[in-house]
Amino acid sequence: MAVAKHAKRTVALTGNEAAAQALRQIEPDVVAAYPITPQTEIVQLFSTFVSDGLVKTEFVAVESEHSAMSATIGAAAAGARAMTATSSNGLAFMWEMLYIAAGLRLPIVMPVVNRALSGPINIHCDHSDTMGARDAGWIQIYSENAQEMYDNLIQAIRIAEHPEILLPAMVTMDGFIISHGMENVELLPDQAIRDFVGEYHYPYPLLDVEHPKTVGPLTLQDFYFEHKREQAAAMQRSRDVISSIADDYAYLCGRKYGHIECYEMEDAEYALVILGSTAGTAKYVIKQLRQEGERCGLVKIRVFRPFPGLELCEALNRVKVVGVMDRSESFSSQGGPVFAETQATLYHGLNQPNCVNYIYGLGGRDIGPDLLRQALLEIRDLVTTDTHDRVIRYLGVRE
């Protein structure tokens, strides 16, 4: 069992405040950012830390999200520890630069507060923004609550900057539900976090004039493929690095994280696969159903990139029916992105359970205990059924 090495301080914080505190303790060299609801508060709070002299960070207020990522890329290429933050349409406005950051192997870490993409315009939570960026070459870590947002951001710095990885990472939390909801968060001492993340030394700084190098060249048929293959290899290597850093962090604070989290899965006959804040509500419902004699469980995906296929197969090895929850719609007619990747993973597993996809909560539609109970009881009824007619179901929508 992990043993906390440092004293912790428990304070009531919103998710945005927890993220801002993590940024303050990390103290990056450069933060370039542009406001967008519901992320604005993260960089607004951090800018006050800069102006009050609590950090030595160079804060750059830019004119757009595209510029925010461009400035962050420039700072990172120069050798700085550089960060930014965004949401929704802001992430979409960064689209071109997301691929450049990953292609240049720059270990930028970016909090993303999940919000629906337009149109029609909406400022509330779903995962269409980060799920749309799932193939951009960024590590993706999803947070269930404010505590996880704090912990995940701190670990993401070490993951991204690891010399065997050098990939950007986005750490997400659900907009308003977590970003603006207040809960108890355990903060570690500032020095403990600074010791944990360590001093940053980018191995290929553009400003090292003694060792000139080319950054961002035109790469055609001769080397482009090899560059992409190296990115893929780094993403694969990140699996072990993520686990190793989670062990280090558990020793620091006593909280242990994995690629996935299993809840009541030891004897489960049916289970949900889920990510984000809805996992907390699902745990509450599963606990109630367990008291009624139901053998149900939950697998929460924490790390979506790299996708935790091996861990999912092991966790679902004895389950008969799986309900996969997607807070985004891929418009492929084959289900949402979490469902598609879970199905692909289970195809190669020893057990191939019956799978149902639930699209839910788009645009911030409330997903309460009653709806999750409905989904769990629906998949329970499929335990004794070989076939079913509706693989893709829409939970909580007016049909």
Domains, the chain, ordered by start: 9-201+210-253 (3.40.50.970), 260-395 (3.40.50.920)
The confidence band for 95, taking pLDDT boundaries of 50, 70 and 90, is very high
Mean pLDDT of 307-320: 96
Instruction: Please report the pLDDT score of residue 303 as a whole number.
Output: 98
The confidence band for 30, taking pLDDT boundaries of 50, 70 and 90, is very high
Distances (CA, A) of 72 to 22, 58, 60: 18, 11, 9
The CB density around residue 292, as the number of other CB atoms within 10 Å, is 7
The confidence band for 51, taking pLDDT boundaries of 50, 70 and 90, is very high
Length of the chain (residues): 399
The pLDDT tens digits of the residues spanning 195-238 come to 999 999 999 999 999 999 889 999 999 999 999 999 999 999 99
The pLDDT tens digits of the residues spanning 107-119 come to 999 999 999 999 9
The confidence band for 82, taking pLDDT boundaries of 50, 70 and 90, is very high
Distance of CA 130 to the CA centre of its chain: 8
Instruction: Please report the pLDDT score of residue 385 as a whole number.
Output: 83
Find out whether 273 and 323 touch, Cβ atoms under 8 Å.
Answer: yes
The CB density around residue 214, as the number of other CB atoms within 10 Å, is 8
Distance of CA 187 to the CA centre of its chain: 20
What is the amino acid identity at position 256? Answer: K
Q: Share the mean pLDDT of the chain.
A: 96
Mean pLDDT of 134-160: 98
Q: Which helix (H) or strand (E) holds 252?
A: helix 224-253
Find out whether 160 and 139 touch, Cβ atoms under 8 Å.
Answer: yes
Above pLDDT 90, what percent of the chain? 93
Mean pLDDT of 38-59: 98
The pLDDT tens digits of the residues spanning 177-197 come to 999 999 999 999 999 999 999
pTM of the entire structure? 0.97
Check pLDDT > 50 for residue 98: yes
Place of tokens 């700072």: 75
The CB density around residue 62, as the number of other CB atoms within 10 Å, is 16
Check pLDDT > 60 for residue 64: yes
